[in-house]
Amino acid sequence: MNVHQISTEPALMSLTEVAQAIAQKRLSSREATKSCLDRIAQWQPHLNAFMAIEADTALAAADAADAAVAKGNLRGALHGVPLAHKDMYYDAGRVVTCGSKIRRDFVPTSTSTALQRLKDAGSIRLGSLQMVEFAYGPTGHNAHYGAVHNPFALDHITGGSSSGSGSAVAARLTFAALGSDTGGSIRMPAHFCGVTGLKTTYGRISRAGAMPLSQSLDTVGPLARTAEDCALLLGLMAGADPEDPTAAGGLVPDYMAATRGEIKGLAIGVPTAFYVDDLDPEVARVLDETIATLKREGATIVQVELPDQRQLTAACHLVVSVEAAAFHKRWLIERPQDYGPQVLMRLQNGLAIPGVSYLEAMRWRGAALAAHNAAVAGVDAVIAPGAPVPAPTIAESDVGNSPDADNVIARLTRFTRPTNYLGLPSLSIPSGFTRNGLPVGMQLIGRSFDEAMLLRIGAAFQRATDFHARVPKLA
Amino acid sequence: MTRPNAKEIKAIADVAGMPVSADIAARIADSIGPAFEGFAAVAGTLPFDLEPASFLLVQTAKVSK
Across A220-242, average pLDDT: 98
**CA–CA separation, A309 and A315 (whole Å):** 10
Burial of A45 (0-12, 13-18, 19+ CB in 10 A): exposed
Among candidate residues A175, A247, A261, A195, the one with its CA nearest the CA of residue A455: A261
First-to-final CA distance of chain B: 36
pLDDT surpasses 90 at A212? yes
> In this complex, do A345 and B31 lie within 8 Å of one another by their Cβ atoms?
yes
The pLDDT tens digits for A415-428 are 999 999 999 999 99
Chain B hits for A183, Cβ within 8 Å:
none
What mean pLDDT is reported for chain A? 96
> In this complex, do B36 and A449 lie within 8 Å of one another by their Cβ atoms?
no
The pLDDT tens digits for A122-180 are 999 999 999 999 999 999 999 999 999 999 999 999 999 999 999 999 999 999 999 99
A119 carries an active-site annotation:
no
User: DSSP character for B54?
Assistant: H
> In this complex, do A361 and B39 lie within 8 Å of one another by their Cβ atoms?
yes
Chain B hits for A377, Cβ within 8 Å:
63, 65
The pLDDT tens digits for A100-114 are 999 999 999 999 999
Q: Which residue of A has its CA nearest to B35?
A: A314
Instruction: Determine which one of A14, A86, A112, A206 is catalytic.
Output: A86
pLDDT surpasses 70 at B63? no
A264 carries an active-site annotation:
no
What is the three-state SS of chain A? CCHHHHHHCHHHCCHHHHHHHHHCCCCCHHHHHHHHHHHHHHHHHHHCCEEEECHHHHHHHHHHHHHHHHCCCCCCCCCCCEEEEECCECCCCCCCCCCCCCCCCCCCCCCCHHHHHHHHCCCEEEEEECCCHHHCCCCCCCCCCCCCCECCECCECCCCCCHHHHHHHHCCCCCEEEEEECCCCCHHHHHHHCCEEEECCCCCECCCCECCCCCCCCEEEEEECCHHHHHHHHHHHECCCCCCCCCCCCCCCCHHHHCCCCCCCCEEEEECCCCCCCCCHHHHHHHHHHHHHHHHCCCEEEEECCCCHHHHHHHHHHHHHHHHHHHHHHHHHHCHHHCCHHHHHHHHHHHHCCHHHHHHHHHCHHHHHHHHHHHCCCCCEEEEECCCCCCCECCCCCCCCCCCHHHHHHHHCCCCHHHHHHCCCEEEEEEEECCCCCEEEEEEECCCCCHHHHHHHHHHHHHHCCHHHCCCCCC
> In this complex, do B58 and A370 lie within 8 Å of one another by their Cβ atoms?
yes
Closest Cα in chain A, distance from residue B59 (Å): 6
Closest Cα in chain B, distance from residue A312 (Å): 8
Q: Which residue of A has its CA nearest to B55?
A: A366
pLDDT surpasses 60 at A245? yes
**Res A475: pLDDT:** 81
pLDDT surpasses 90 at A4? no
Residue A378 in contact with partner chain B when CB distance is under 8 A: yes
- SS3 state at B38: helix
Provide the edge-to-edge strand list for the sheet that holds A439-445. A176-181, A219-224, A196-199, A426-433, A439-445, A381-385, A267-271, A300-304
pLDDT surpasses 50 at A2? no
> In this complex, do A447 and B63 lie within 8 Å of one another by their Cβ atoms?
yes
The pLDDT tens digits for A297-327 are 999 999 999 999 999 999 999 999 999 999 9
The pLDDT tens digits for B11-39 are 988 888 888 999 999 999 999 999 999 99
Closest Cα in chain B, distance from residue A6 (Å): 43
Across A60-71, average pLDDT: 98
> In this complex, do B59 and A367 lie within 8 Å of one another by their Cβ atoms?
no
Instruction: Determine which one of A185, A206, A214, A216 is catalytic.
Output: A185
Task: Give the alpha-carbon dihedral of A4, A10, A11, A13, to 10 degrees.
Answer: 60
**CA–CA separation, A349 and A360 (whole Å):** 17
Closest Cα in chain A, distance from residue B21 (Å): 11
**Res B18: pLDDT:** 87
Contact A373, B59 (CB under 8 A): no
pLDDT surpasses 60 at A1? no
Burial A116-138 (b: 16+ CB within 10 A, else e): bbbbebbbbbbbbbbbbbbbbbb
Please report the sign of the dihedral spanned by the C-alpha atoms of residue A364, residue A369, residue A372, residue A377.
Answer: negative
pLDDT surpasses 90 at A465? yes
Report CA A279 to chain centroid distance, whole Å: 22
Report CA-CA distances (Å) from A231 to A257, A262, A372, A468: 9, 15, 25, 15
Strand partners, A383: A444
pTM greater than 0.95: yes
pLDDT surpasses 70 at A14? yes
**CA–CA separation, A423 and A106 (whole Å):** 30
> In this complex, do B36 and A314 lie within 8 Å of one another by their Cβ atoms?
yes
Contact A330, A295 (CB under 8 A): no
Q: Name the residue type at position A349.
A: N
> In this complex, do B39 and A311 lie within 8 Å of one another by their Cβ atoms?
yes
Chain A hits for B31, Cβ within 8 Å:
345-346, 349, 406
pLDDT surpasses 60 at A6? no
Interface of A with B in 286-325 (CB under 8 A): 308, 310-311, 313-315, 317-318, 321
Instruction: Determine which one of A28, A29, A112, A161 is catalytic.
Output: A161
Across A431-452, average pLDDT: 98
Across A5-32, average pLDDT: 92
Using 50, 70 and 90 to split pLDDT, how confident is the model at A262? very high
- Which of B8, B9, B24, B65 is the best substitution to test chain A (most A C-beta atoms within 10 A)? B65
Percent of chain A with pLDDT over 70: 99
**CA–CA separation, A263 and A344 (whole Å):** 45
Q: Which residue of B has its CA nearest to A406?
A: B31
Interface of A with B in 182-201 (CB under 8 A): 201
Q: Which residue of B has its CA nearest to A315?
A: B39
Using 50, 70 and 90 to split pLDDT, how confident is the model at A244? very high
Using 50, 70 and 90 to split pLDDT, how confident is the model at B64? low
> In this complex, do A348 and B20 lie within 8 Å of one another by their Cβ atoms?
yes
Q: Are strands A381-385 and A267-271 parallel, antiparallel or unpaired?
A: parallel
Among candidate residues A282, A312, A270, the one with its CA nearest the CA of residue A387: A282
A86 carries an active-site annotation:
yes
> In this complex, do B31 and A406 lie within 8 Å of one another by their Cβ atoms?
yes
Report CA-CA distances (Å) from B63 to A80, A380, A429: 39, 11, 24
Residue length, chain A?
Answer: 475
Residue A334 in contact with partner chain B when CB distance is under 8 A: no
Q: Around Cβ B48, how many Cβ atoms within 10 Å?
A: 5
**Res B1: pLDDT:** 58
**Res B3: pLDDT:** 84
> In this complex, do B17 and A333 lie within 8 Å of one another by their Cβ atoms?
yes
**Res B2: pLDDT:** 75
